[in-house]
Amino acid sequence: MDSVIEALPVYLDGFRLTLYLAAISGALSLVLGTVLAAFRVSPLRSLRLIGTLVVEVGRNTPLTLVFIFFVFILPGIGIILPLGTLPAIIALTVYTSAFVCEAVRSGINSVGIGQAEAARAIGLGSVQTLTLVVLPQALRTVVPPLINVLIALTKNTSVAAGFAVVELTATGRGLARDYPADVIWMLLGVAFFYLVITIPAGAIAGSIERRVVFSR
Amino acid sequence: MSKSVLYDEPGPKTLRLERNASIAVGALIAVGLVFVIIGMAGRGLFDDRWLVFTDPPKGQTAGDVWGSLGRGLRATLTAAAVAAPVAFALAFLLAILRTSGSRWVSRPVTWLIEFLRGMPVLLMMFFGLLAFGLSAFAAVAFGLILYNSAIMAEILRAGLAALPKGQVEAGTALGLTRWQTMRLIQLPQVVRLMLPSLISQLVVLLKDSSLGFIVGYPELLRTMQLNYSFFGDKYRFPLFVVVLIIYLAVNITLTRVAILVERRLGARGQSGRVATTALPPEAEPEPLGRA
Amino acid sequence: MRTRTIRWAALAAAAGLSLAACSGGTDSDPDAGSSVDPGSFPAGSTMARLAEAGEITVGTKFDQPLFGLQGPDGKPVGFDVSIATIIAGELGIAPGDITWIETVSANREPFIQDGRVDIVVATYTINDSRKEVVDFAGPYYEAGQALMVRADDDSITTPEDLSGKKVCSVDGSTPAKNIQDNYPEAELVTFAAYTDCLDPLRNGQVDAVTTDNVILAGYVAESPDDFKVVGEPFTAEPYGIGLAKGDDEFRGWINDVLEAIEADGRWTAAWEDTAGTVLPTPEPPAVDRY
């Protein structure tokens, strides 16, 4: 226990990097994921195809393989990215976008068909129907699963530990090495810092959800 | 599906736009592919390293290599097949308890769910292994079950929240108890409504078994790493390609099977926009549990 | 390419032979596995218990070139594996009755403490903080941290030259910590396995790879055109055999075995069959009976 407190500054460094990775990749994947979802329900077949392809590959591949692709396979075909946070952010964003897309699409499906019919009946085009009528209502069902996706992302940043990013998990591994007598305490310390992010995130989601439900 | 509702049938103008867009995208992909293949060939990615699958070096046989990948795949599937049904059953329990009328029940369950979904799976596996003395396999299953039951419970709850209130009111009016309303009216609709999310989660579960390497569970991804550690790093590329294909094949098959199930469920309840006919109870969790 | 294939074939054959040769207490008798009498060990000792059971669980690494690598056929090979096999043989346990468990850096101590493994032979550096929770027999080998760079790079020869350069190692490892603590001007890049450092070094994404000299030598042997090891090792990494804390009887016995095999040539044979295929044969280090 004492060693956890002793190691606090080290934890905080890792924690900061984890937050950074989660925030940047989270924001990017919310945007990319929503665009992909729009692609997937768009009238243009080629757009639907791209959307489907990215989502299918993204959500059916383990994140570690996505990381291996951006860190080791891309340099193998001549695209050399600097090691560190950049390939990590790209890998996390591509992977998470697939899940954001699916969550948003689930939400779109949950909106009553009559809503879209009504929107079309008053002459809105497909983009307007989506952005003005369907998506705002879809938000209701989408918020909790989206928060789940973002919480999963926060924890998924731990995979970056194996790919040249010293975030929280990598920090924990180093501390476990430095304090072999306190391995379990060191891991509990890591768990604590993840919970510091994820539990408030869950609570915020809960309150947003309640508010959205009331405004129905 | 909402597909045909969001837009009109494409007219001549849209069709032309679509054709042009398809050609542009196709050309872009073709150029990209040529670039990639030239780049790969230039770096020797098509040389004898592919022999690792037919005539591997270091005194191993092709059978050894494929055998190890097969054992890895089996370990991955076993972990998922054990964890998924248990996680799903637990998720139902958690979701029902969380939406229960009593605060004394719903509060602690809410905390439990928050805690479980906030913990990295990897750490749960580690605790299973070190703190509870489980075997590597049990530790992997332990982590997968706890984490995924919390996530699936949240998915089910979101679905419950999205159901029109009239459904519950109608149940009450019929004289059904709360539990009967839940079982006969709400859950069957929720499962169908949230099926895409649930299926995604099953695939996540399957993929998360790959975190088992941290506790020494030799699943597919770890097998790949051990193979290229053994043969040398130039074999990473062929092994990566084959393992990627295996994962995609398994997961996409899983998704397709689940979509077939979804269609079947959908066809049964088509009498209304929101199903009013209750499904027999055994039809609820069973199709997903199969994964 | 061809010579490499032949060398690996020879290595595999040698490893197979050495496994067979080690199966008994004496080299001449292939069935000697059961010839050790459990009664010859002090009653109640760990040796008696293991010999009685006829089984032993050994923790080793599955991804360390030359020391512990698991092939696709499921059999681990390497110097650590050979040493553990010899020790098991001295207990009358045949190689087939050894259960190999992969121990990664983070779980070696807990596995020993829980009794999940009987011994750990896993490029396991003896140090004081580890001695607080486990005990070590040996050392049976002394490695040292060294640097590997691109074959055409002459700008780095000592760790002092790493200032401002990117150096690659494994996340949470002792060599990584050493760089972090003693050469803070170097930019440390860490991956999950040393194999992962090789492509970035080739591509120029990092300037050096650092870990124990023996592991680096294995990589240079595989890609002599790409890499070279520079300078002298700048740390001492005595590899020990980890066992339960306080089991001094067992520790003393393993130390006896190590001294015996260092004297009768079995240590050298095990080395030459494994790491010795690419490295010169060193003098075995003196056992430290602390």
Three-state DSSP string of chain A: CHHHHHCHHHHHHHHHHHHHHHHHHHHHHHHHHHHHHHHHCCCCHHHHHHHHHHHHHHHHCCHHHHHHHHHHHHHHCCCCCCCCHHHHHHHHHHHHHHHHHHHHHHHHHHCCHHHHHHHHHCCCCHHHHHHHHHHHHHHHHHHHHHHHHHHHHHHHHHHHHHECCCCHHHHHHHHHHHCHHHHHHHHHHHHHHHHHHHHHHHHHHHHHHHHHHHCC
Per-residue pLDDT of chain A (216 residues; tens, 9 = 90+): 677 788 888 899 999 999 999 999 999 999 999 999 988 887 777 788 888 888 888 888 889 899 989 988 888 777 788 888 999 999 999 999 998 998 888 788 777 778 888 888 888 887 888 888 888 888 777 887 788 789 889 989 988 888 888 888 888 878 877 887 777 788 888 889 999 988 888 788 777 777 765 544
Residue among C63, C101, C106 whose CB faces B229 most closely: C63
Q: Do B216 and C222 touch (CB under 8 A)?
A: no
**Which domains are delineated in chain C?**
2-140+237-277 (3.40.190.10), 145-230 (3.40.190.10)
| Two tokens, residue A46 | 């080629």
Strand order in the sheet with C145-150: C187-191, C166-170, C208-212, C145-150, C227-230
Sequence-distant (6+) residues with CB within 8 A of C134 are C108, C109, C112, C113, C120, C242, C243, C244, C245
Per-domain residue ranges of chain A: 2-214
For B33, counting Cβ atoms within 10 Å of its Cβ (0-12 exposed, 13-18 middle, 19+ buried), the class is exposed
Are B194 and B91 in contact by the 8 Å Cβ rule? The answer is: no
Tallying the residues shown for chain B, one arrives at 291
Kindly state the DSSP code that residue B33 receives in the 8-state scheme: H
Contacts of B58 in chain C (CB under 8 A): 8-9, 11-12, 71
Sequence-distant (6+) residues with CB within 8 A of A144 are A205, A209, B154, B157, B158, B161
Q: Do B216 and C101 touch (CB under 8 A)?
A: yes
Rounded to a whole number of angstroms, the distance from the CA of C217 to the nearest CA of chain A is 22
Are B19 and A45 in contact by the 8 Å Cβ rule? The answer is: no
3-state secondary structure of B5: coil
Per-residue pLDDT of chain B (291 residues; tens, 9 = 90+): 444 566 666 678 877 887 887 888 888 888 988 888 887 787 777 777 787 787 778 777 888 889 899 999 999 999 999 999 999 999 989 988 888 778 888 889 988 988 888 888 877 887 787 777 788 889 899 999 999 999 899 888 888 887 888 888 888 889 888 888 888 888 888 887 787 778 778 888 988 888 887 677 888 988 998 888 888 878 888 999 999 999 999 988 888 877 777 777 665 544 333 333 333 333 333 232 222
Q: B3, B7, B43: which to substitute to probe chain A, counting the most A Cβ within 10 Å?
A: B7
Per-residue pLDDT of chain C (290 residues; tens, 9 = 90+): 444 444 444 444 444 444 444 433 334 444 444 567 777 888 888 999 999 999 999 999 988 888 888 888 888 999 999 999 999 999 999 999 999 988 877 678 888 988 889 999 999 999 888 899 999 998 999 999 999 999 999 999 888 899 889 999 987 778 888 998 899 899 998 887 888 899 899 888 999 999 998 889 888 888 888 999 998 889 998 999 999 999 999 999 999 999 999 999 999 999 999 888 888 888 889 888 88
Closest to A104 (Cα-Cα) out of A166, A30, A194:
A30
- Rounded Cα–Cα distance for residues A203 and A209 (Å): 10
Give tens-digit pLDDT for B246-265.
Answer: 999 998 888 887 777 777 76
Sequence-distant (6+) residues with CB within 8 A of B284 are B187, B188, B191
Contacts of C222 in chain B (CB under 8 A): 232
Residue C122: CB atoms within 10 A of its CB come to: 27
The arrangement of secondary structure in A2-214, i.e. its CATH architecture, is Orthogonal Bundle (1.10)
Rounded to a whole number of angstroms, the distance from the CA of A71 to the nearest CA of chain C is 9
pTM for the whole thing? 0.79
Pairing of strands C56-60, C98-102: parallel
Q: Do B197 and A57 touch (CB under 8 A)?
A: no
Taken in order A59, A15, B141, A72, the sign of the CA dihedral is: positive
For B177, counting Cβ atoms within 10 Å of its Cβ (0-12 exposed, 13-18 middle, 19+ buried), the class is exposed
Rounded to a whole number of angstroms, the distance from the CA of A184 to the nearest CA of chain C is 9
Kindly state the DSSP code that residue C125 receives in the 8-state scheme: B
- Rounded Cα–Cα distance for residues A64 and B114 (Å): 25
| Two tokens, residue C29 | 């008798």
Give tens-digit pLDDT for B177-217.
Answer: 888 888 888 888 888 778 777 877 888 898 888 888 767 78
Rounded to a whole number of angstroms, the distance from the CA of C205 to the nearest CA of chain A is 7
Pairing of strands C166-170, C208-212: parallel
Closest to C251 (Cα-Cα) out of C127, C155, C138:
C138
Q: Can you give the pLDDT at residue A89? A: 95
Give Cα separations from C281 to B177, C65, C217 (angstroms): 80, 16, 13
> Does B56 touch chain C if contact means CB atoms closer than 8 Å?
yes
Contacts of A160 in chain C (CB under 8 A): none
Residue among A162, A166, A174 whose CB faces C192 most closely: A162
A and B: number of Cβ contacts within 8 A: 177
Three-state DSSP string of B56-95: CCCCCCHHHHHHHHHHHHHHHHHHHHHHHHHHHHHHHHHH
| Two tokens, residue C17 | 């032979």
Are B90 and B145 in contact by the 8 Å Cβ rule? The answer is: yes
Strand ranges for C173-262 from DSSP E: 187-191, 208-212, 227-230, 237-244
Question: What share of residues in chain B are helix, strand, coil (percent, to 5)?
Answer: 80, 0, 20
- CA–chain centroid gap for C75, Å, is 16
Reported ipTM: 0.80
Closest to A180 (Cα-Cα) out of B143, C68, C242:
C242
Q: B6, B36, B252: which to substitute to probe chain A, counting the most A Cβ within 10 Å?
A: B6
Sequence-distant (6+) residues with CB within 8 A of C272 are C14, C281
Q: Do A141 and B119 touch (CB under 8 A)?
A: no
> Does B138 touch chain C if contact means CB atoms closer than 8 Å?
no
Cα nearest neighbour of C177 on chain A: A174
Rounded to a whole number of angstroms, the distance from the CA of C110 to the nearest CA of chain B is 7
Subunits that touch chain A (at least 3 Cβ pairs < 8 angstroms)? B, C
Residue among B57, B71, B216 whose CB faces C5 most closely: B57
Are B210 and A62 in contact by the 8 Å Cβ rule? The answer is: yes
For A8, counting Cβ atoms within 10 Å of its Cβ (0-12 exposed, 13-18 middle, 19+ buried), the class is exposed
Q: Do B60 and C71 touch (CB under 8 A)?
A: yes
Place of tokens 């990948």: B69
Rounded to a whole number of angstroms, the distance from the CA of A150 to the nearest CA of chain B is 11
Closest to B80 (Cα-Cα) out of B122, B135, B141:
B141
Q: A148, A150, A211: which to substitute to probe chain B, counting the most B Cβ within 10 Å?
A: A148
